Structure 1
Amino acid sequence: MNAPAAFLRRLFASTLATATVLVAAILLLASLGFYFVELRDIPGRTLFDALWWAMTTLSTVGYGDIVPTTVPGRLIGMGIMGAGVGIMAVLTGNLASALIERRNRKRLGLLPVKTAGHSIVLGCNAHAPGLIKALATAAPLSRGPAVVLVATLTPEAFAEMAADLNLEENLSFCRGNPAQETVVARAAPAAARAAYILSQDGLSPEEADQQTLLTALTFRGLAPKVQLYAEALLEANRKHLARAGVDVTLVRGDLTERALETMGEHPALWHFLERLLGTSGNRAMRARAMSHDEKGLRWSALVGHALAAGDGLPVAVFRLRRDITIKELLDADSALDQFILELFSAYGQEGRLGRQGPAVAVNPGDGLDLADFDGLILLKTQAPPTKVHAPAGDGEQP
């Protein structure tokens, strides 16, 4: 008895639900009454005709194709006409209120995001706008927003950021602490393409990295197979984030230190890096996936193929993630290792030990098997500068 009573209490707690139930009850009773009073003795008339009459009368449409001819039938019609005016007004008003409330909840970042193949940014700091813009620009087609931001921003701050980035339709917002499971779950993490954790500003390095670690653990619990990147402030915490399931950790300031070292070796190396990295849409390099045919080529042949196609100069191959099996770690010539493999096979086990994170091989040469890699990194080819001839002067040949 407690369960039905609780259900009824929840049902009638909503005005919209109450009005809907009343409409259904009135339609049912009016249809049954009208059928037995007016239509039962008319050949070809069914209970559906009575329901049709009740619906058109309750909604105040009144097509007039079926009309009551008896006093009881007209009394039923008068009753549902009177009820229809009030109930339909309540139903329409509550439906409009529900739509407005949903819109407000979406603006506040409290609604689940319906999308797939998207990128998730967990946390917000000064680097967030640039990352979001780059992700949205490079994003493949997705069913919904290309980027979802999970952060403790105010709705006004998020709206301002989205307007500045011109991403109102391609950026969604889930408001809350990205280390909380209920908050991250609204961003559809299992359907995401990748996720990026940003360090929280305003905290000490230890506290910020602890927040990043908690966020990584939360995300991994919801999406164990999605690529996860994280920003850390302390080098010592890189290994802890790796244990929490982060595939790639970028320590803030790490690249700055390396750039300064490069500049110290030779200024030209720094200028090359500066041109190589460039800005969004103006970089001298790009990455793309390799086709099945390209994976079967040797490196020198692949370079020639890409140059001939005007695709750019390949400089590296990359692999995002791959499964590591026990077979790769065992010796094929060892009887004991073969026995272990047979045990795995006998019990129907795949022998998968885990996943290896991203890897890049720069100018690998022909000895590397490219079939194990996912894509290419290429330098964009540029047309040679056009030689400008100075205008011929007096006595000079053009």
Structure 2
Amino acid sequence: MSRRFYANFLRLPIVLRTLFLALSAIIFFGALIHIIEPSTFPSIFDGIWWAIVTTSTVGYGDFAPETIPGRIAGIFLILTGAGFLSFFFVNLATATVTRQNAYFEGKVAFKGMGHLIIIGWNERSREIIDHLSNGGPNKQIILIDETLESNPMPSKLHFVKGRANLDETLIKANIFKAEKVLITSDQHKDELHADMFSILTLLTIKGLCPSVHCIVEVLTTEQMANAKRAGADEIIQSNVLTSFVMVNSITAKRKIPSIIELLRQLDGGKLTLSAAADNLIGKSFKEASSLLLAEGILIVGIKRGEETFVNPSHPFIISKDDQLLEIIR
């Protein structure tokens, strides 16, 4: 029994072990001084009070041993109890600093739920985190990256250091309770290898938690099909978007506001995709636009199956399963 207790005691964190020894010394010497000098220390509580004051401060003077045996007990208390108590506070401070450093270095697991996991640290990730933190939806953000040495934005996110295609890293980010995952492309790799790494990460995520919503950035058109096979819920072709903005700027006959500026106007969830209401089914796109415009909603297109029709020509009749691409004022 004693061996089992000793083995279990050694498994405790050093802070708890030191606290246990300090409290044991205080209780032991508090009871001992009551036995040695019952007139000076009428109760065990008085003895424990004296032991606590003696080990933690220089003593208040309200209780003090008067006999030689009592003073010898006080000497041993100072040598043992005060030492254990001081050692406890040193270890407590060390553990606190170690825990804080581990948090900044991405070694602490995340315990929350309903969070957003962003994989990869780059300028796009920074913009997304800034937007979500400043006026965006109030959501906890977890950043996974293997290149960073410490948390780049401690006040805005929880950092987990490691490779995103390893189960251990994803479990540390609590992938099972995550709401969404955004996989950004690694700009340090060539486009093909960056896409392959993103798809491998996607496969790992879906293998652990098939239900989590995954958004994947893909650079090459050829890897679109593989991303879909791997289970991507949404695919963002960043190169296509960038090329479109550049082509628009080149071919425009007159100077118009940058598309980036136009997109910023849609910031904050103003551009939405919603199912067609019952009162709009069977009506033309023009009629539906007029009805919703009175409510401050502008329809810019219709999503029908896998196809999207932007500003469709008249007459375009809205069907039951159509989705409306809307800009909300």
TM-score (norm 2): 0.71
Q: How does 1:195-214 map to 2 (within 5 A)?
A: 195-214=181-200
Aligned counterpart in structure 1 of residue 327 of structure 2, from 378, 381, 393: 378
Q: Is the 8 Å Cα contact of residues 275 and 284 (structure 1) preserved in structure 2?
A: no
Deviations 1:341-397 (A, max 9, x none): xxxxxxxxxxxxxxxx99989789664379xx8x973154xxxxxxxxxxxxxxxxx
Deviations 1:315-350 (A, max 9, x none): 4689xxxxxxxxxxxxxxxxxxxxxxxxxxxxxxxx
Match of 2:144 in 1: 150
Deviations 1:133-192 (A, max 9, x none): 3343464224xxx43221123337x63xx4xxxxx5113322221122222333333333
Change (3 A) 1:289 1:181: same
Question: Is residue 2:161 matched to residue 1:180?
Answer: no
2: CA distance, partners of 1:197 / 1:180: 14
The share of aligned pairs that are identical, in percent, is 25
Amino acid corresponding to residue 286 of structure 1 in structure 2:
K
Match of 2:228 in 1: 242
Q: Which moved more, 1:176-185 or 1:186-195?
A: 186-195
2: CA distance, partners of 1:361 / 1:7: 68
Change (3 A) 1:250 1:296: closer
Q: How does 1:79-118 map to 2 (within 5 A)?
A: 79-113=76-110, 115-118=112-115
2: CA distance, partners of 1:361 / 1:70: 98
Amino acid corresponding to residue 118 of structure 1 in structure 2:
H
Change (3 A) 1:287 1:40: farther
TM-score (norm 1): 0.61
CA RMSD of superposed structures (Å): 4.6
Question: Is residue 2:313 matched to residue 1:313?
Answer: no
2: CA distance, partners of 1:317 / 1:33: 85
Unaligned runs of 5+ in 2: none
Q: CA deviation at 1:7?
A: 4.5
Match of 1:286 in 2: 270
Q: How does 1:2-21 map to 2 (within 5 A)?
A: 7-11=8-12, 14=14, 16-21=15-20
Change (3 A) 1:317 1:18: farther
1: CA distance, partners of 2:231 / 2:38: 69
Amino acid corresponding to residue 149 of structure 1 in structure 2:
L
Change (3 A) 1:56 1:211: same
1: CA distance, partners of 2:260 / 2:16: 60
Q: Which moved more, 1:109-118 or 1:60-69?
A: 60-69
2: CA distance, partners of 1:64 / 1:295: 82
2: CA distance, partners of 1:136 / 1:218: 28
Amino acid corresponding to residue 144 of structure 2 in structure 1:
V
1: CA distance, partners of 2:38 / 2:320: 84
Amino acid corresponding to residue 148 of structure 2 in structure 1:
T
Q: Is the 8 Å Cα contact of residues 19 and 87 (structure 1) preserved in structure 2?
A: yes
Amino acid corresponding to residue 298 of structure 2 in structure 1:
L
Amino acid corresponding to residue 327 of structure 2 in structure 1:
L
Amino acid corresponding to residue 60 of structure 1 in structure 2:
T
Match of 2:211 in 1: 225
Amino acid corresponding to residue 77 of structure 1 in structure 2:
G
Q: CA deviation at 1:228?
A: 0.9
Match of 1:215 in 2: 201
Deviations 1:282-302 (A, max 9, x none): 659824698xxx986634898
Q: Is the 8 Å Cα contact of residues 115 and 142 (structure 2) preserved in structure 1?
A: yes
Amino acid corresponding to residue 233 of structure 2 in structure 1:
D
Deviations 1:12-31 (A, max 9, x none): 8x4x4553232132123224
Question: Is residue 2:41 matched to residue 1:57?
Answer: no
Aligned counterpart in structure 2 of residue 136 of structure 1, from 127, 133, 137: 133
Match of 1:24 in 2: 23
Amino acid corresponding to residue 105 of structure 2 in structure 1:
L
2: CA distance, partners of 1:284 / 1:141: 12
Q: CA deviation at 1:55?
A: 2.7
Change (3 A) 1:18 1:282: same
2: CA distance, partners of 1:64 / 1:222: 64
Q: State the SS of the aligned residue for 2:117.
A: strand
Deviations 1:9-67 (A, max 9, x none): 5448x4x4553232132123224434544569998x4x555544433332226456665
Q: Is the 8 Å Cα contact of residues 119 and 135 (structure 1) preserved in structure 2?
A: no
2: CA distance, partners of 1:4 / 1:154: 43
Q: CA deviation at 1:245?
A: 3.0
Change (3 A) 1:216 1:50: farther
Deviations 1:85-143 (A, max 9, x none): 4333322222222222222222322222454443221123453333333343464224x
Count of matched residue pairs: 318
Match of 2:279 in 1: 298
1: CA distance, partners of 2:270 / 2:83: 64
Q: CA deviation at 1:217?
A: 2.7
1: CA distance, partners of 2:58 / 2:269: 65
